[in-house]
């Protein structure tokens, strides 16, 4: 039930505040207070993450274990602005600056599951934002290419991903409408901004048998999340769910 779920997450959030704010018991021998503090914080975040996956994702019928495991592993609190860290595991998108947002965890899981990824797949993401979705992809596949149009976001996401050890992710500052020709074709393409139509270059750069997920519709209203498949040179599309994304903008 929504009420019990939100009261449960409130409870967990207050746990984290308590853990962060109170004096922890003496650290084990040979460890400094600060190491102990940060370990107990990490444990508290991990509990929130497991709870997020159970209540927001599994309960909404995401069953692919590779996706669930990836969502359990990626430290979402590292991808949000410092003042929003206490809200990092809540059931909603959060602002990341420059008028952009990090998507709701469930939407990240749904889009990832729709791609039906295998470890050897090469994935292209349009709309790096914070880098969170790219990190989730990189927990599943060996190589991720991600393009961001806002230079400051591309720079900060690249640094963050490097710091967190995601070496298999390549970040580029560019207009993602044109895809990334040098590394094409891709087994999967994920667009995390709302497009008015499916960009033809992205269709061309999709491998035979490949999948693309993209929100399509009016940029300032509800869009449809579309699953695109390329089989025997033919494109098929399936509407999955109504969604709301920030617009896919173009570089002039
Ligand atoms: N996937 C992100 C959230 C996406 S928000 C995350 O996990 O945090 C959408 C992002 O798409 C924004 O950062 C926006 O700047 C970017 N964007 C919009 N139009 C774009 C374009 N044409 N090419 C590349 N990125 C674009």
Q: How many Å lie between the centroid of ligand 1 and the Cα of residue 183? A: 19
Question: How close is the Cα of 193 to the center of ligand 1, in Å?
Answer: 6
| Pocket mutation for ligand 1, best pick of 98, 99, 115, 128 (most atoms within 8 Å of C-beta) | 128
Indicate whether 17 pLDDT > 80: no
Q: Let me know if residue 251 belongs to a domain.
A: no
List pocket residues of ligand 1, CB cut-off 6 Å: 100-103, 126-127, 129-130, 132-133, 147-150, 153, 175-177, 192-193, 246, 248-250
Confidence of residue 125 (pLDDT cuts 50, 70, 90): very high
Dihedral (CA of 114, 118, 122, 127) sign: positive
Asked, for residue 179, whether it belongs to a domain, the answer is yes
Q: For residue 149, tell me if it sits in a domain.
A: yes
pLDDT band at 38 (very low <50, low <70, confident <90, very high): confident
* Nearest residue (CA) to ligand 1, atom 17: 127
pLDDT above 70 coverage of the chain, percent: 87
What CATH number should be reported for the domain holding residue 171? 3.40.50.150
From the CA of 237, how far away is ligand 1's center (Å)?
22
219 — pLDDT class (breaks 50, 70, 90): confident
35 pLDDT above the threshold of 80 = no
The answer to whether the CB of 153 falls within 8 A of the CB of 173 is: no
Instruction: List the structure tokens of 64.
Output: 């692919």
Q: Phi, psi at residue 76, to the nearest 5°?
A: -55, -30
Average pLDDT, the chain: 89
Ligand 1 atom at minimum distance from 248 CA? 19
Does residue 102 form part of some domain?
yes
The pLDDT tens digits of the residues spanning 41-74 come to 999 999 999 999 999 999 999 999 999 999 999 9
For ligand 1, what atom is nearest to the CA of residue 101?
Answer: 5
For residue range 82-109, what is the model confidence (pLDDT) as tens digits? Answer: 999 999 999 999 999 999 999 999 999 9
Strands 223-231 and 169-173: unpaired
Q: What is the DSSP letter of 67?
A: H
CB 246 within 8 Å of CB 194: yes
Cβ-contact 104, 167 below 8 angstroms:
no
The ligand 1 atom nearest the CA atom of 127: 11
Residue located nearest, by CA, to atom 19 of ligand 1: 248
103 is catalytic: yes
Bridging pattern class, strands 100-102 and 94-97? antiparallel
Instruction: Give the helix/strand (H/E) hosting 223.
Output: strand 223-231
**Does some domain include residue 248?**
no
Is the pLDDT at 25 greater than 70, yes or no?
Answer: no
CA neighbor of 114 nearest in space, from 68, 64, 69, 74: 64
Distance CA 184, CA 18 (A): 49
**Whole-angstrom distance, CA of residue 70 vs CA of residue 119:** 12
Q: Which domain holds residue 124?
A: 7-243
**Distance of alpha carbon 207 from the chain centroid:** 22
Cα 181 from Cα 19, distance rounded (Å): 48
Number of domains in the chain: 1
Quote the CA–CA distance of 243 and 216 in Å, as a whole number. 9
Ligand 1 centre and the CA of 45: distance in Å? 26
Determine the distance separating the centroid of ligand 1 and the alpha carbon of 148, expressed in angstroms: 6
Per DSSP, helices labelled H in the chain are 2-21, 33-52, 65-73, 105-114, 132-138, 151-163, 200-204
Q: How far apart are CA 20 and CA 175, in angstroms?
A: 41
Residue having the nearest C-alpha atom to atom 16 of ligand 1:
127
Average pLDDT over residues 158-162: 98
At 233 the pLDDT is: 86
2 domain-assigned = no
pTM, two decimal places:
0.88
pLDDT attached to residue 36: 67
Other C-beta atoms lying within 10 Å of the C-beta of residue 177: 19
- Structure confidence at residue 37 (pLDDT): 85
Selecting among 103, 130, 143, 156, the annotated active-site residue is 103
21: pLDDT confidence band, cut at 50, 70 and 90? Answer: very low
């Amino acid at each position: 039930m929504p009420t019990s779920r939100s009261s449960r997450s409130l409870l967990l959030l207050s746990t984290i505040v308590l853990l962060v704010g109170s004096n922890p018991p003496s650290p084990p021998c040979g460890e400094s207070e600060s190491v102990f503090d940060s370990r107990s914080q990490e444990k508290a975040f991990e509990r929130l993450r497991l709870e997020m996956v159970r209540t927001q994702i599994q309960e909404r019928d995401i069953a692919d274990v590779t996706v669930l495991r990836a969502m359990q592993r990626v430290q979402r609190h590292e991808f949000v602005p410092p003042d929003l860290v206490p809200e990092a595991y809540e059931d909603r998108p959060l602002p990341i600056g420059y008028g952009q947002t990090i998507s709701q965890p469930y939407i990240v899981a749904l889009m990832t599951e729709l791609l039906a990824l295998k470890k050897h797949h090469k994935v292209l993401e349009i709309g790096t934002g914070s880098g969170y979705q790219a990190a989730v992809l990189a927990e599943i596949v060996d190589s991720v290419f991600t393009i961001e149009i806002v230079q400051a976001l591309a720079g900060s996401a690249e640094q963050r991903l490097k710091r967190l050890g995601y070496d298999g992710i390549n970040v580029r500052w560019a207009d993602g409408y044109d895809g990334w020709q040098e590394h094409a074709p891709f087994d999967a393409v994920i667009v995390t901004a709302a497009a008015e139509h499916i960009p033809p270059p992205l269709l061309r750069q999709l491998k035979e048998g490949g999948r693309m997920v993209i929100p399509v519709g009016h940029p300032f209203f509800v869009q449809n999340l579309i699953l695109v498949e390329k089989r025997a040179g033919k494109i098929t599309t399936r509407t999955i769910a109504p969604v709301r994304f920030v617009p896919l903008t173009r570089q002039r």
